Amino acid sequence: MEINVLNTTGKDTGRKVDLNDEIFGIQPNDHAIYLDVKQYLANQRQGTHKSKQRAEIAGSTRKIKKQKGTGTARAGSIKSPLFRGGGRVFGPVPRDYSFKLNKKLKQLARKSALAYKAKNNSILVLEDFNFEVPKTNEIVNICKNLNLANKKSVFVLSEPNKNIYLSTRNLQKQRVITASNISTYDIMNAGTLVLVESSIDVLNKMFKIA
């Protein structure tokens, strides 16, 4: 599919680029997207949660009352989960939430996410640009020109650019990533995907498309 290339003022440059159908035109696989996003979110979890079990509670080990004749249930330890201040039954313990996925499945998930964005006309192609110094106001003006001021958007660059990254760091709804590091979560979480023109070649190489 062909798409017009815009400049930073939001106007058509008169040029068009071809978004390869092998990436942007495939039949999306919803389950692949689900698994890849699930893995991404699982990998963000620290897994450092912990509660004390009865063996870890500080307290006396004496039998708190006699076994029989009280008319109530027997109780052997003040650290029992039945008592206030006792240990917790089956409480959380530190664990690693990450899990593995096949490379081909992750690649299919990213292609599917890009295909959804293309299908919903949520992709813009912007000509290459740069800032001499970091300036948030410059990115704000670009977003206004592209009608993205109040929308979640992700700018996809061909290579890291410190000035552009620092310009967007203070904005809640705009993010900057490189094409080689793009994830399914980044794509699906963005309202609009802004592809810098040179990043399309990087995507083609990443998905091994000539």
| Surface-to-core class of residue 182, CB atoms within 10 Å of its CB (0-12 exposed, 13-18 middle, 19+ buried) | buried
Residue 105's closest CA among 113, 97, 95, 117? 113
Identify whether residues 135 and 154 lie together within a single domain: yes
What is the predicted pLDDT for the residue at 209? 67
Identify whether residues 133 and 152 lie together within a single domain: yes
At 157, give phi and psi (nearest 5°): -100, 160
Identify whether residues 114 and 13 lie together within a single domain: yes
From residue 40, alpha-carbon distances to 55, 135, 186 in Å are: 35, 31, 10
How many domains does the chain contain in total?
2
Sheet of 2-6, strand order = 12-18, 2-6, 123-126, 192-196, 153-157, 174-178
Identify whether residues 116 and 137 lie together within a single domain: yes
Identify whether residues 86 and 144 lie together within a single domain: no
Identify whether residues 158 and 123 lie together within a single domain: yes
Q: In terms of residue numbers, what domain contains 166?
A: 2-45+99-206
pTM over 0.85: no
Alpha helices in the chain (DSSP H): 21-24, 30-44, 103-119, 136-145, 162-168, 184-189, 199-206
Mean pLDDT in consecutive groups of 10 residues from the start of the chain, 210 residues:
88 89 93 97 95 91 90 91 92 95 95 94 92 91 90 92 92 92 94 93 82
What is the predicted pLDDT for the residue at 208? 77
What is the predicted pLDDT for the residue at 61? 84
